[in-house]
């Protein structure tokens, strides 16, 4: 049984805890067998059979963490992982004062990525997304929600979701696919928006469901670049009829009543929420809708931060994710998102970590496998080169994740100090 000893801080994130509850154990050890954790706790309590320090009868390697931090594998619960091209031209235009909706109205924005994505084969999409996943794993990420939404036709939405299916498997993070055919109305339906909504509800979502390609259904509620409330409702209700749980891009650029709509449709999460109203927060608290905040997109689009403190006080659970996409968030650096959640949104480092582990796992249906460390749960964890969570998120630097383990297999870096 492999054993990690001399862990400076072991963050367990107990599922039943509150937003800031890390369940931290100082001076800890952790043992796993195959893909499953079998024991964790204070080093002094390590069972003799797992303890190699005194030459006891343990039969697996023992690793000395040298006082480092060990956390549950990070969960990025909101990404647009597979896409063609980049949009550096828009980044430059936005820095010169052109707005995101204005760029979209000119045929840029999501529409330009749709053109580049449709030009890629399933293999090319999988290869590129797979490269991003390798980078994510090196940051300590062990599970990723990944959206379609740059295909926007039956053929191209299926292509992206099939590419995600191709990527699932050993060595890769656990993937949770979401159908985001409701991202926007594509150019060829500009004069027939209802025609596109019918295509989504009567063809795309049924085809996705037939192949079991997505667990969640999402839409971008933002009249102008995205869908209006009636279109969003039609899409998410159709997703529900086909067994997909709703998620919603809500109240990002304007308060479009997205939080309330997400709550009323039984969505698992409402994401973005920079412009959410107090009524929206109340509705989410009542319905148990998770708030997913996306600080990297907030910085790139220079949006005001979402009112996280009011959400937490109202009893809303808050997840933190990257929103990785070529427009509003061209970075999959989830630890950076956590640091920004502290700096820009007033989350404590503990709350932010919980938001990218336990709460994030819940926001993408992975609460049974990801987001917490305990005996009987999968050995998905990261060894971080910092003594504790505060020091980790304070000191933003390269190479902080020493090793990432998924299901007991080291998929990036090296477990330190093999004895």
User: What does 110 interact with, of ligand NIG, Fe ion, none (CB < 5 to 8 A by kind)?
Assistant: ligand NIG
Among the listed residues 295, 271, 298, 265, the one whose alpha carbon sits nearest the alpha carbon of residue 283: 265
Residue 113 binds which entry of Fe ion, ligand NIG, none, with Cβ cut-offs from 5 to 8 Å by kind? ligand NIG
Given phi > 0 = left and psi -120 to 50 = alpha, else beta, which region is 406? beta
Kindly state the smallest distance separating residue 372's Cβ from Fe ion, in Å: 25
The option from Fe ion, ligand NIG, none interacting with 94 (CB < 5 to 8 A, set by class) reads none
Q: How far is the CB of 133 from Fe ion (least distance, A)?
A: 17
- Rounded least distance, CB 168 to Fe ion, Å: 21
State how far Cα 69 lies from the chain centre.
Answer: 21
Instruction: Give the nearest distance from C-beta 417 to ligand NIG in angstroms.
Output: 41
**Which residue is closest to ligand NIG by CB?**
327
DSSP label at residue 204: I
Any residues with CB less than 8 A from the CB of 251 and at least 6 apart, and which?
221, 257, 258, 259, 270, 272, 273, 274, 275, 276, 277, 280
123 to 120, 143, 168, 212, 379: CA distances (angstroms): 8, 21, 14, 19, 30
Partner from ligand NIG, Fe ion, none binding residue 239, C-beta < 5-8 Å depending on class: none
Residue 323 in the binding site for Fe ion (CB under 5 A): yes
Q: How far is the CB of 378 from Fe ion (least distance, A)?
A: 27
CB contact at 8 A, 185 and 227: yes
Output the smallest distance, CB 113 to Fe ion, in A. Answer: 12
Task: For residue 165, give both structure tokens.
Answer: 């299916």
327 binds, among Fe ion, ligand NIG, none (CB under 5 to 8 A by kind): ligand NIG
Strand-strand pairing, 174-182 and 216-219: parallel
For CA atoms 339, 248, 136, 69, give the dihedral sign: positive
d(CA 42, CA 160): 45
List the single partner that 231 binds among Fe ion, ligand NIG, none, CB under 5 to 8 Å by kind.
none
Q: Choose among ligand NIG, Fe ion, none what residue 252 binds, the Cβ cut-off being 5 to 8 Å by kind.
A: ligand NIG
- Site for ligand NIG, rule CB under 6 A: 80, 109-110, 113, 220, 249, 252, 297, 323, 325-328
Residue closer to ligand NIG (CB basis): 80 or 354 = 80
Structure tokens at 121: 């084969």
Residue 215 or 322: which CB sits closer to ligand NIG?
322
Q: What is the closest distance, in whole angstroms, from the C-beta atom of residue 46 to ligand NIG in the complex?
A: 44
Cβ proximity to ligand NIG, 107 vs 212, nearer residue: 107
Binding-site size for Fe ion (CB under 5 A) equals 1
Nearer to Fe ion, 183 or 377 (CB): 183
| Residue pair 279/270 in contact by the 8 Å Cβ criterion | no
Judged by the rule CB under 5 A, the positions of this chain that interact with Fe ion are 323
């Amino acid at each position: 049984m492999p054993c990690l000893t001399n862990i400076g801080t072991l963050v367990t994130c107990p599922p039943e805890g509150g937003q800031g509850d890390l369940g931290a154990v100082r001076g800890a050890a952790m043992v796993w067998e195959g893909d499953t954790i079998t024991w964790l706790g204070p080093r002094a309590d390590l069972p003799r059979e797992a303890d190699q320090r005194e030459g006891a009868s343990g039969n697996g390697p023992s690793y000395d963490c040298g006082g480092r931090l060990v956390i549950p594998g990070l969960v990025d619960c909101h990404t647009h992982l597979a896409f063609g091209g980049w949009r550096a031209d828009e980044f430059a235009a936005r820095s010169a004062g052109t707005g995101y909706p204005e760029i979209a109205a000119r045929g840029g924005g999501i529409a330009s990525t749709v053109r580049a994505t449709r030009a890629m084969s399933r293999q090319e999409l999988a290869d590129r997304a797979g490269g991003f996943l390798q980078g994510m794993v090196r940051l300590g990420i062990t599970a990723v929600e990944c959206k379609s939404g740059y295909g926007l036709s039956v053929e191209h939405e299926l292509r992206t979701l099939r590419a995600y299916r191709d990527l699932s498997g050993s060595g890769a993070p656990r993937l949770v696919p979401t159908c985001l055919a409701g991202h926007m109305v594509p150019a060829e339906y500009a004069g027939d928006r209802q025609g596109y909504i019918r295509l989504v509800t009567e063809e795309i979502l049924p085809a996705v469901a037939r192949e079991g390609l997505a667990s969640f259904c999402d839409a971008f509620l933002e009249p102008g670049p995205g869908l209006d409330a009636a279109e969003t409702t039609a899409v998410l209700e159709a997703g529900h009829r086909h067994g997909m749980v709703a998620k919603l891009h809500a109240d990002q650029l304007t308060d479009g009543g997205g939080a309330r709509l997400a709550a009323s449709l039984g969505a698992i999460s409402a994401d973005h929420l920079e412009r959410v109203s107090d009524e929206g927060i109340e509705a989410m608290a009542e319905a148990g809708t998770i708030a997913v905040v996306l600080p990297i997109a907030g910085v790139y689009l220079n949006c005001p931060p979402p009112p996280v403190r009011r959400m937490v006080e109202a009893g809303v659970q808050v997840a933190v994710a990257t929103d990785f996409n070529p427009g509003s968030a061209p970075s999959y650096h989830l630890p950076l998102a956590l640091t920004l959640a502290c700096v820009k949104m007033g989350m404590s480092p503990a709350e932010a970590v919980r938001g990218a582990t336990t709460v994030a796992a819940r926001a993408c249906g992975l609460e049974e496998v990801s987001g917490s460390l305990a005996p009987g749960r999968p050995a998905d964890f990261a060894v971080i080169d910092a003594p504790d969570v505060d020091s980790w998120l304070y000191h933003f630097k390269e190479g902080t994740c020493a090793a990432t383990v998924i299901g007991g297999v080291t998929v990036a870096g090296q477990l330190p100090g093999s004895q």
